[in-house]
Amino acid sequence: MTHAAHALCNRYAAILSSAAGDGGRTGVRVAGAVHCLILKTFLQAPPTFLLNHLLTAYAKSGRLARARRVFDEMPDPNLFTRNALLSALAHSRLVPDMERLFASMPERDAVSYNALITGFSSTGSPARSVQLYRALLREESVRPTRITLSAMIMVASALSDRALGHSVHCQVLRLGFGAYAFVGSPLVDMYAKMGLIRDARRVFQEMEAKTVVMYNTLITGLLRCKMIEDAKGLFQLMVDRDSITWTTMVTGLTQNGLQLEALDVFRRMRAEGVGIDQYTFGSILTACGALAALEEGKQIHAYITRTWYEDNVFVGSALVDMYSKCRSIRLAEAVFRRMTCRNIISWTAMIVGYGQNACSEEAVRAFSEMQMDGIKPDDFTLGSVISSCANLASLEEGAQFHCLALVSGLMRYITVSNALVTLYGKCGSIEDAHRLFDEMSFHDQVSWTALVTGYAQFGKAKETIDLFEKMLANGLKPDGVTFIGVLSACSRAGLVEKGCDYFDSMQKDHGIVPIDDHYTCMIDLYSRSGRFKEAEEFIKQMPHSPDAFGWATLLSSCRLRGNMEIGKWAAENLLETDPQNPASYVLLCSMHAAKGQWTEVAHLRRGMRDRQVKKEPGCSWIKYKNKVHIFSADDQSHPFSSRIYEKLEWLNSKMAEEGYKPDVSSVLHDVADADKVHMISHHSEKLAIAFGLIFVPQEMPIRIVKNLRVCVDCHNATKFISKITGRDILVRDAVRFHKFSDGTCSCGDFW
């Protein structure tokens, strides 16, 4: 080759090297232009080193097909050529092609092995990387490099293989790479992820030149191992902190439940003028959501608006989640609607937010919008919308989502299966819930709890307790929610001693600290069985006073059994705990009305008016042909009102023949008995049941949802209706599920 030709080759090689560094479209254009010049300039085959530069430029610009064509046309490819193509194939995750090329290579060096090790690990086959690494160690002419060992440290970390990790670390020390931060940082990270924090610290301390990356890695490991004070101490020691350091602290503190400290670190980060990225915003918004710190969240939102991150889909999703957890669902909705780009994370945040804020219908509607937007749900999204259907007791839509889970293949995810078990339990199809549970290949704590709770809500105490004991026998650890189901089942069955045993076991054997719901279950357990003195004693021994629901539970039982003394005590405490809660007034009114003490009733009513306390109006609804029909007492607004009242009159006549006698104890007005009977005969649930009898096919159960507890008279009347019509009637009220069939109720009348 002449001197001029050699100089031209060097010039072309330099241009191609620059193109390889640029990559993308620019690199492709430059590589293509130089390729044309090479073909015009060299009538015979160009030098191999120049073609190597061309192949590399195409490969790094994402044009693998052109790189392969250059390789195939080369008359004399060398080791560098093959390694360049091998690295490109590994980067493109073309494993079979990568393996074929590696097998055909007449010689290999560490670069060849490194390319294949990286290719296997990046395609989810770390075990094959280990096999290749061991083959490399057997090669006499090839020695591992820093890149090899760094890659293998990450493989050991991915496999959580402590033996492999220690073995690679030994190779690092044997080959003299122990002082290199390039290897040291992955070692610190590996040991921290394996929970070997002492080893991670030793590697860190032995490094002479500690980089910011190494500090960040160890801080992350300490926070992951819940060594908060050590992490904070290391953070304070750092002279140079980058944005990753600060973000690591914010994220770690948030994940360890120290949201207030995370907010403080974030404020210091801003004060020092450190650049804030999407990950920092995501972590601090998570902290605000966990604290329900709405004002701080709004301030951060305002700061985001002044940055380039307002349209960032990650930050937008975090804002939706934060506002949802702060119970500001309309602000969450406004952020979501303004987002120019939405992905599965943002849609899921909005759907979950609706569910968390009791906007279940909006959650279902948002899920439909997401599908119309062309975004396919993942297991978490589908599980969330199924949970919303469970809250609505909407079996029709829930069954449709069940079909979607089967068709999409998401049924194999336990989040979806658990949500479906909960759905069928809450919709009164406890047999379907149990069948689905039995079909699951794996059960976790949530699966068992969903079924236990389903049986408990259905009033099936024996089945609930049997399931709970099986759960324990299978080695599953119950949580607080599981015990709420078990304690409520004992309460409804009148199993006071057994319930007390479970309450003690929950604390002593399982280390669960009781919350208000557990105490309420115990109050219900005693008072429902008429053991009011024991209930009073239990309350006095509690570490804190019951919440409003606990006092209301005691007061309700006092009303049912006519215990005025403890009833007044419960009412006084309920008024003190929650002055705007109408339950204390209504239940006390019921107690006085039952004894004909109308002066006391009038006094309580005046108190309600003076304090502007309003009783939540009772309403019941039934879903038919994808439309929800809502009824209130004496409702005349329904298009089929005349047919509904006609059906009610027929039912009243038939019930009277069967021996039904109206219970007017829930009527809080001093009027004649005939007027009281008229008032209770048109309660919302009776209207909804009449609608169901007219329109719901005979072979299907009638499903009613009520926002308040079913009153005594409606409960008795529904038993008679189920016997007269031969229909199964399922009523889900504010407390539990009632399945009425052939004159009986699943609650066993312990309600």
- At 182 the pLDDT is 74
Banded model confidence at residue 523, pLDDT cuts 50, 70, 90? very high
Rounded to 5 degrees, φ, ψ at 518 are -70, -40
- At 176 the pLDDT is 83
Contacts 24+ apart (CB under 8 A), 666-670: 666/590, 666/711, 666/712, 666/713, 667/593, 668/586, 668/589, 668/590, 668/593, 668/601, 670/593, 670/598, 670/601
Q: Which helix (H) or strand (E) holds 667?
A: none
Q: What is the mean pLDDT of residues 697-724?
A: 87
Q: Which of 25-39, 75-89, 372-386, 444-458 has the lowest mean pLDDT?
A: 25-39
Q: Name, of 435-439, 586-590, 665-669, the range with top average pLDDT.
A: 435-439
Work out the burial of residue 298: count CB atoms within 10 Å of its CB; fewer than 13 is exposed, 13-18 middle, 19 or more buried. middle
Is pLDDT larger for residue 649 or for residue 42? 649
Q: What is the mean pLDDT of residues 349-365?
A: 93
Res. 589: pLDDT tops 70: no
What single DSSP character describes residue 412?
G
Q: Which of 2-11, 77-86, 159-168, 351-360 has the lowest mean pLDDT?
A: 2-11
- At 688 the pLDDT is 93
Banded model confidence at residue 672, pLDDT cuts 50, 70, 90? very low
Q: Tokens for 319?
A: 């804002």
- At 508 the pLDDT is 94
- At 594 the pLDDT is 61
Res. 365: pLDDT tops 90: yes
Res. 382: pLDDT tops 90: yes
Q: Of 391, 389, 412, whose CA–CA distance to 399 is shortest?
A: 389
Q: What is the mean pLDDT of residues 342-363?
A: 93
Res. 246: pLDDT tops 60: yes
Q: What is the mean pLDDT of residues 55-73?
A: 80
**Alpha carbons 52 and 12: distance in angstroms, whole number:** 11
Q: Which of 43-57, 359-373, 599-613, 726-740 has the lowest mean pLDDT?
A: 599-613
Please name the residue ranges forming H helices in 42-180.
48-60, 64-73, 79-91, 95-104, 110-122, 126-138, 146-159, 162-174
Whether 17 and 58 have beta carbons less than 8 Å apart is answered as no
- At 535 the pLDDT is 94
Res. 641: pLDDT tops 60: yes
Work out the burial of residue 353: count CB atoms within 10 Å of its CB; fewer than 13 is exposed, 13-18 middle, 19 or more buried. buried
- At 578 the pLDDT is 78
Res. 204: pLDDT tops 90: no
What single DSSP character describes residue 410?
G
Domains and CATH numbers, the chain: 439-609 (1.25.40.10), 619-743 (no CATH)
- At 683 the pLDDT is 85
Banded model confidence at residue 611, pLDDT cuts 50, 70, 90? low
Q: What are the pLDDT digits (tens) for 527-585? A: 988 999 999 999 999 999 999 889 888 988 887 787 888 888 888 888 788 777 666 66
Whether 223 and 252 have beta carbons less than 8 Å apart is answered as yes
**Alpha carbons 422 and 450: distance in angstroms, whole number:** 5
- At 590 the pLDDT is 67
Is pLDDT larger for residue 632 or for residue 1? 632
- At 595 the pLDDT is 62
Res. 401: pLDDT tops 50: yes
Q: Of 438, 308, 505, 427, whose CA–CA distance to 704 is shortest?
A: 427
* Average pLDDT of the residues of the chain: 86
Banded model confidence at residue 746, pLDDT cuts 50, 70, 90? confident
Q: Name, of 184-198, 275-289, 576-590, the range with top average pLDDT.
A: 275-289
Are β-strands 737-741 and 729-732 bridged in parallel, bridged antiparallel, or unpaired? antiparallel
Whether 368 and 626 have beta carbons less than 8 Å apart is answered as no
Q: Which of 215-229, 443-457, 591-605 has the lowest mean pLDDT?
A: 591-605
- At 74 the pLDDT is 81
- At 556 the pLDDT is 81
**Residue 416 to residues 325, 352, 396, 437, 509: CA-CA distances in angstroms?**
22, 14, 17, 12, 31
What single DSSP character describes residue 703?
E
Is pLDDT larger for residue 591 or for residue 158? 158
